[in-house]
Structure 1
Amino acid sequence: MKKALIVSLILFLFIRCKKEDAVAAQISKIETNVSVERFDRAFAKAKPNELGKLKTTFPYLFPNRIPDSAWIERMIDSNQLQLNTATNEKFGDFKSETNEIENLFQHLKYYDKTFSEPRVITLTNFVRYREKVVVTDTIVLIAIDNYLGEDYDLYAGIPKYIAQEMKPSQIVVDLAEAYSERQIFQYRKKTFLDEMIYFGKQLYFKDVMIPFKSDAEKIGYTPQQLQFAKENEDMIWTQFVENEMLFSTESSLTARFIADAPFSKFQLELDAETPGRLGQYIGWQIVKAYMENNDIPFKDMLQKDAVEIFNESNYKPPK
């Protein structure tokens, strides 16, 4: 009996791998037309008398409420000049980032036949790291001064747990996250479980759309933080269950385990050793278990109720 189960498992894994390989081959053949427009470079090179030309080419970047004098002043601002130099040195021709964006768009096209490539425009925004990317049906804006590496001088006042994600490899991760927010439906987000499953869906969306990125990059952890989450998954889950957190509507749980933070707050001695957002990590594992244990299309899962996903996931953390 044991031998038969092992053989069945091996056969199942073989068939699944073959299916995944076939999908990957189809995705790689999808044609995309990605051309990144470097507004950051155009603005860095422009003279005050060329502002009108810039406004004609990129009208949506020049709101009427901001006078031309403010843009001309920005052209000679010392911080802006520093960002011009830094972004040019860091990204050069933006080729590797463009390749990853193209790969993301291939996956989006495969899973959504209505998707068409938007204009992709890079710019700087004086390191407003809460506004790194903007995604619409027709335009993608990427503020590349937010991806210069966690040790960049202008990031000195930014908390380390935020700065660690401000590097070039996270651009396509942030874009995938922005696209996930446009496709995930959740009827309500009232309980801690609702929050966990929402972000679990978001992270699973990244599994599907950017499989070329590591799990650490998808969730914004260092390799060491991801290893902690994996090694302590059973402990984390036990804390959530024994303290009756899953169906709690206590808003503090979001701050303790879902929101960006330097560490998660179990109110235990080990807190300082933990990464933040462990509720997101557990939600990810629940959604993974749901997809492994149920025959359901990926896009249908994005619309499912959190309680239904949890109940049908048969999630059990590894011991």
Structure 2
Amino acid sequence: MIRFKFLFPGLLFLTFSFGCKPSNKECEVPTGYEENLTSINIQRMEGLFFEELSKEKMLENLEAYPQFSKAMFANMGFENQEQLAEELLLIHQDSGMVELYQEVQTYFGDISKIKEDLEVAFAGIKYHYPDYTIPSIYTFVSGFGSDLIITEEVIIIGLDYFLPNDHKFQPVDLPNYILRRYNSAHLVPMIITAISTQFNKTKLSDNSLLAEMIFYGKSYHFTKTMMPCTADEFIIGYETGEILGSYANEEMIWGHFIENELLFETNPFIIRKYTGEAPFTDEISPDAPGRIGRWIGWNIVDDYLANNGITLPELMEQDDARLIFKESGYKPRRP
């Protein structure tokens, strides 16, 4: 079993070579993105459903915003709008929900940073995919019922999920290793990674670990392309030390995959050990972060683009994971 070694002299080098990408002060939005910058409108729905409530007002809001209402409340299973309005009235008058709403209003009174980050990311998508239509975007307080609802037509952000990690209100159904990713710094990368699935082609017949690794690698590369000034940890959801430790031990991690002949493994249980949510990848080391197969997949995809001179749309259209791996020429970096 491999133990990760965090050697400070090595970390200094890794931070420069592989670690966190440039900060916003050092990073420039790629040429061509600017001409696709468009001011987006984020509709704040929480006030409409929490302030000065009555059944009549609730019904009016449901009817006035059918796209939002259908996406947000369709799964509640009520037969008609009147029953739904009555239930929402009860929920949103609950003292705990009212306090949660007030806390969200305090912390997210200004969402200009979210708006700016989304505008840059959408400009990137429009640059690579000119026919892309930006969805309608809403914010809401879901009572920790929905973090993000994302379709080709709509994005709904459950702002309560993205309160600071030390806030007294936290979702109770998420373990700490996942919960730490639920904050405003990770919000827009989560959205763009979810959107990437619209473009990420895969072979349905390939159920291998390699195919899953490449799928996630393409998703993270997509997000990094659209958000080049965002550090890697906010894209993949690792702590900075986890990224640095992974680079420091990349050769040993890769050796584990090769020695155990894992790349073409099709057992779902084994695949989940390397790409599924977990606090660490115990099969490699208790110090190895969870989802390490996704991180390796990201590196393979980066090398594939670097060595083949293809465009992002060509990458996302390529559904042959084995070809991507073969033509990547991937080799672990040596610290």
**What is the TM-score of this pair, normalised by structure 2?**
0.83
Q: 1:46 to 1:183 in 2, by over 3 A?
A: farther
Aligned to 1:306: 321
Deviation at 1:23, TM superposition (A): 7.8
List gaps (5 residues or longer) in structure 2.
1-26
2:155 to 130, 140, 147: 140
Cα displacement string for residues 34-75 of structure 1 (whole angstroms, at most 9, x for unaligned residues): 011000122221411421221122224144545321011012
Please provide the CA RMSD for this pair.
1.8
Deviation at 1:254, TM superposition (A): 2.4
Q: Distance in 2 between matches of 1:190 and 1:116?
A: 31
Q: Distance in 2 between matches of 1:28 and 1:241?
A: 43
Aligned to 1:171: 187
* Residues 1:181 and 2:197 aligned together: yes
1:29 to 35, 44, 68: 35
Q: How many residues align?
A: 294
Give identity over the alignment, percent. 27
Aligned to 1:208: 225
Q: Is the 8 A contact 1:257 1:265 kept in 2?
A: no
Aligned to 1:90: 107
Q: Distance in 2 between matches of 1:277 and 1:22?
A: 30
Q: Is the 8 A contact 1:149 1:164 kept in 2?
A: no
Aligned to 1:291: 305
1:227 to 224, 232, 244: 244
* AA partner of residue 59 (structure 1): P
Q: Distance in 1 between matches of 2:164 and 2:180?
A: 8
Relative contact order, CA 8 A, sep 6+: which one is greater? 2
1:42 to 45, 48, 66: 48
Q: Distance in 2 between matches of 1:171 and 1:85?
A: 20
Q: Is the 8 A contact 1:40 1:84 kept in 2?
A: yes
Q: Distance in 2 between matches of 1:248 and 1:117?
A: 38
Q: Which structure's residues are more often helix, by fraction? A: 1
List gaps (5 residues or longer) in structure 1.
1-20
* AA partner of residue 160 (structure 2): D
Aligned to 1:16: none
**What is the TM-score of this pair, normalised by structure 1?**
0.87
Deviation at 1:239, TM superposition (A): 0.2
Q: Distance in 1 between matches of 2:29 and 2:86?
A: 52
Q: Distance in 2 between matches of 1:196 and 1:39?
A: 37
Deviation at 1:301, TM superposition (A): 1.0
* Residues 1:316 and 2:331 aligned together: yes
Aligned to 1:153: 168
Q: Distance in 1 between matches of 2:52 and 2:292?
A: 46
Q: 1:148 to 1:23 in 2, by over 3 A?
A: closer
Q: Is the 8 A contact 2:144 2:171 kept in 1?
A: no
Deviation at 1:22, TM superposition (A): 10
